[in-house]
């Protein structure tokens, strides 16, 4: 086979355990034939049209793999230039943006978000805030400890109400009280990261996308990441088509643009690793953050993984250990969203653990 990958997957695993204009180097293809066969098998097993993977060793890009179709109808293969929705893998990008603001002195992690004198003040909603809502801090939102608005069947970010972000936030603050006291309980929240996007806008004076692109992505050498659009007709150049045969909830019913900070980015596997080189605390490429911020949340652990999935999308960004990181992006998902993601992760982690030698090239330099 030519090598050419509606709900978020609420999984952040911490302290765990990872058709082309330009085809991969033939010698690379031969070296990785076992991994290629495993990835091809996963695509068939889960009926996923296409996937892109990238593996990095000591901050050198040692492998790029492209498999299957970016568009089944036109038989267009996935290439290294293909870009995919990355769903909740957007959240580490937003978190680093927040830590950059903190490092630059524009906020403190324990600053309050809502209420008089807080970052966002009282501009959202029409009702007085509860004491619980006024207690929410930036840190609570980052760590999914704001106390509510969880990723379940009533997730605000998948609400059928066609409100833009500001109206949606006001509506939820007015109508959805918190379930727990802020800081007390981990409750995975896409909506919490939507609020963090508005924090970035308030403190930077830029749109969320503009701030992340200019302060985080472009300094990493990334120029082809965008907040996604909602329809096929609006897709970007080189963006794949998304497929979900497992559900009536189609990929193009999702308001991806509204999700921005919690799940809206479109990226390639290689660009996700470019981002990783600037946050992984290794010495070969300069990181964005000083140690205090680089060790916040799971970023400071020896190994961590953030998964993302929604209708028609699967994605993984993993720091496997102090030598290796990898990323996976696909334009399909398994019926149980975590199953295909775990299969991809297992195949790549097995490759990392079993291989005794790696290519000495750096594919970042040939892009």
Residue 319 contacts residue 26 (beta carbons within 8 Å): no
DSSP 336-357: SHHHHHHHHHHHHHHHHHH-S-
Q: What is the pLDDT of residues 36-94, one digit of tens each?
A: 999 999 999 999 999 999 999 999 999 999 999 999 999 999 999 999 999 999 999 99
Average pLDDT value over all residues in the chain: 91
Residues in the chain: 367
- Count of Cβ atoms closer than 10 Å to residue 357 Cβ: 6
- Count of Cβ atoms closer than 10 Å to residue 366 Cβ: 10
Tell me which residue of 134, 140, 147 sits closest to 98, measured CA to CA: 140
Tell me which residue of 238, 203, 222, 234 sits closest to 20, measured CA to CA: 238
Q: What is the pLDDT of residues 145-174, one digit of tens each?
A: 999 999 988 899 988 788 999 999 999 999
Beta-bridged to residue 303, according to DSSP, are: none
**Cα torsion for 295, 300, 305, 307, to the nearest 10°?**
0
Distance of alpha carbon 280 from the chain centroid: 15
pLDDT at residue 106, as a whole number: 98
pLDDT at residue 367, as a whole number: 56
pLDDT at residue 331, as a whole number: 98
Domains and CATH numbers, the chain: 12-89+221-366 (3.40.710.10), 95-204 (3.40.710.10)
Contacts of 287 (CB under 8 A, 6+ apart): 278, 279, 280, 281, 294
Residue 265 contacts residue 89 (beta carbons within 8 Å): yes
Residue 48 contacts residue 340 (beta carbons within 8 Å): yes
pLDDT at residue 19, as a whole number: 37
The share of the chain scoring above pLDDT 90, in percent, equals: 85
Per-block mean pLDDT, blocks of 10 residues, the chain (367 long): 39 39 48 94 96 98 97 97 98 98 98 98 96 98 97 87 92 96 97 98 98 97 96 95 90 95 98 98 95 96 96 97 98 90 97 94 84
Q: Which residues in the chain belong to E strands, given as ranges? A: 12-14, 50-57, 60-71, 76-77, 84-85, 226-227, 265-267, 304-310, 313-319, 324-330
| Signed CA dihedral, 334, 56, 99, 255: sign only | negative
Contacts of 310 (CB under 8 A, 6+ apart): 6, 7, 8, 9, 85, 87, 251, 254, 263, 333
pTM: 0.91
pLDDT at residue 22, as a whole number: 38
Q: How far apart are CA 265 and CA 237, in angstroms?
A: 14
């Amino acid at each position: 086979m030519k090598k050419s990958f509606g709900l978020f997957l609420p999984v952040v695993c911490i302290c765990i355990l990872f058709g082309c204009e330009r085809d991969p180097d033939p010698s690379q293809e031969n070296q990785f034939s076992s991994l290629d066969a495993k990835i091809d098998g996963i695509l068939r097993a889960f009926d996923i049209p296409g996937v892109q993977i990238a593996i990095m060793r000591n901050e050198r890009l040692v492998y790029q793999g492209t498999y299957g179709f970016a568009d089944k109808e036109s038989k267009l293969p996935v290439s290294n230039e293909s870009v995919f929705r990355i769903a909740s893998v957007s959240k580490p990008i937003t978190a680093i943006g927040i830590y950059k603001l903190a490092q630059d002195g524009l906020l403190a992690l324990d600053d309050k978000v809502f209420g008089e004198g807080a970052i966002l003040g009282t501009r959202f909603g029409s009702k007085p805030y509860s004491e619980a809502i006024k207690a929410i801090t930036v840190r609570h939102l980052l760590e999914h400890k704001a106390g509510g608005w969880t990723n379940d069947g009533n997730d605000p970010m998948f609400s059928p109400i066609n409100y833009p972000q500001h109206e949606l936030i006001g509506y939820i603050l007015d109508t959805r009280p918190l379930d727990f006291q802020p800081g007390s309980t981990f409750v995975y929240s896409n909506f919490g990261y939507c609020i963090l996007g508005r924090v970035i806008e308030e403190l930077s004076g830029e749109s969320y996308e503009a701030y992340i692109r200019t302060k985080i992505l472009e300094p990493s050498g990334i120029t082809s990441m965008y907040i996604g659009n909602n329809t096929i007709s609006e897709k970007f150049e080189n963006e794949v088509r998304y497929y979900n045969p497992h559900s009536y909830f189609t990929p193009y019913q999702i308001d991806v643009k509204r999700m921005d900070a919690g799940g809206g980015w479109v990226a390639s596997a290689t660009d996700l690793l470019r981002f990783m080189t600037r946050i992984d605390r290794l010495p070969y490429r300069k990181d964005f953050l000083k140690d205090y911020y680089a060790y916040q949340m799971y970023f400071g652990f020896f190994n961590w993984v953030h998964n993302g999935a929604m209708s028609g999308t699967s994605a993984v960004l993993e720091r496997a250990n102090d030598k290796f990181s990898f990323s996976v992006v696909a334009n399909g998902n398994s019926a149980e969203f975590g199953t295909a993601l775990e299969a991809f992760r297992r195949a790549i982690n097995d490759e990392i653990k079993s291989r005794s030698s790696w290519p000495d090239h750096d594919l970042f330099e040939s892009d």
